[in-house]
Amino acid sequence: MGNEKSDGKILEIKTMTSKDLLQQTLNHKEPERIVFDMGSNAVTGIHVLALENLRNYYGLEKHPVRVIEPYQMLGLVEADLIDAIGIDVVGAWGHDNMFGYSNQPPLKLFKTFWNQEILVPEKFSTQTDSNGDLLSFPEGDSTLPASAKMPVSGYFFDAIERQQIIDEDNLKVEDNLEEFTPITDKLLNYWKVETTKASATGKGVVAGFGGTALGDIALVPGMQLKQPKGIRGIAEWYMSTIMRNDYIKEIFDMQSMLAIENLNKIYQVVGHNIDVVFLCGTDFGTQDSTFCSPEQFDDLWLPYYQRINEWIHTNTNWKTFKHSCGAVENFMDRFIDAGFDIINPVQVSAKGMNPKHLKEAYGKQLTFWGGGINTQKTLPYGTTDQVREEVLRHCDIFAKDGGFVFNTVHNIQAHVPVENIVAMIDALKEFNSRG
């Protein structure tokens, strides 16, 4: 807050915070500059190796990067880097990770295949198999069968399917609801503390409370479960959406009702501390097409998405965030009908995902969170000039009338040249400086 004299009166001038700018953006009012996100959640992040390279480029304090999401090996973007590059959005991260153990301190050092020393949770328990691949275990318990594997030449984990034999006559809906449970008082207090800290930064805040994913294929295998039951194979799950349609509907029905019960309790302690709630990472698109027909989406997903979104919009001030990769242009109207406010990652290289068309057709109702630059080609393989050109072009298209948060098309991967990441950041600053 600043003061300025005019005709003998003192006028109060409010400095716009990042949170204010995000609120304007989400309400489709063009802010004074584009809001920038890098690292607020598990689909807008940066790999630990790329993050260390970026920290080194800006001459920040040298210390091991902390893994904030071990499945994808995403790093925690700390306050010094946030300030150095002008990030506007922070995340309130969950207590546990996708392997089912605490993601909180105490932490320990771990040396990766690529010889980077990083900080991981204390229960980050791994073994190497006969191929030299790195195995991870549910709840960090190495006496159990491994639930994920990082290839010796890889940079993140893949789920290991542990699909049991399916007895069609005794298939129980509750088997696929094992990980969906009523929220505890301990976890409610955790969210109160974490969202309060995040809100105090003056940044926009994103939180993913869990339990609202509705068939996210990354979660179906149940990597955190000791012995997952029900439909846990990826191919089996996709087939089940057709062959066991009623079974999947029962899962979504019970899951969405429990989700609302939990969200109601969460809102009582979190309130206005957050701006955006990450609801669902279920992918509906490939590079060229979709995993299901629009009619199947309407039948299987739409009613349950509407149920959760309607409760949130009726009872909170939160905006809702939907992640889906791929060629999902023909699903955009359906995402709007489902009540989502935000679509990510805006995979502009996929079929039909032309930025100009997306903005013109859906930009008044959806906020595009991503689409700033192609992470499959331009960012990892282009020149710095090509990076700059694409960022400026996409910003020019998406920024008009708000409804655009700058982020890459999905997470920044390990070996993206740091010069290209910096060129991306500088191009965004250049666009924003045009006033």
pLDDT, tens only, 212-225: 999 999 999 999 99
Q: What is the pLDDT of residue 11?
A: 45
| pLDDT of residue 296 exceeding 60 | yes
Average the pLDDT over 395-411 and give the result: 97
Per-residue DSSP letters for 253-321?
HHHHHHHHHHHHHHHHHHGGG-SEEEEE----B-SSSBSS-HHHHHHHTHHHHHHHHHHHHHH-S-EEE
Note the pLDDT of residue 14: 63
Which residue is associated with the tokens 């005794």? 170
Q: Kindly compute the dihedral angle of the four CA atoms of residues 354, 357, 358, 363, in this order, to the nearest 10 degrees.
A: 150
pLDDT of 320-363, one tens digit each? 999 999 999 999 999 999 999 999 999 999 999 999 999 999 99
Collapsing DSSP to helix, strand or coil, 206 comes out as strand
Tell me the C-alpha distance between 236 and 234, whole Å. 5
pTM of the model: 0.95
pLDDT digits (tens, 9 = 90+) for 160-172: 999 999 999 999 9
Span 4-27, pLDDT tens digits = 444 544 444 568 999 999 999 999
pLDDT digits (tens, 9 = 90+) for 221-242: 999 999 999 999 999 999 999 9
Supply the mean pLDDT for the chain: 96
Mean pLDDT to the nearest integer, 47-59? 98
Confidence of residue 313 (pLDDT cuts 50, 70, 90): very high
DSSP class of residue 327 equals S
- Pairing relation of β-strands 65-69 and 117-121? parallel
Residue type, 380: P
Domains of the chain: residue spans and CATH: 15-109+161-433 (3.20.20.210)
Q: How confident is the model at residue 422 (pLDDT cuts 50, 70, 90)?
A: very high
Q: Which own/partner pairs from 49-52 qualify as long-range (CB within 8 Å, at least 24 positions apart)?
A: 49/112, 49/114, 49/116, 49/155, 49/414, 49/415, 50/75, 50/412, 50/413, 50/414, 50/415, 50/416, 50/418, 50/421, 51/75, 51/77, 51/81, 52/116
Average pLDDT for residues 275-302, to the nearest whole number?
Answer: 96
Task: Tell me which amino acid residue 99 is.
Answer: F
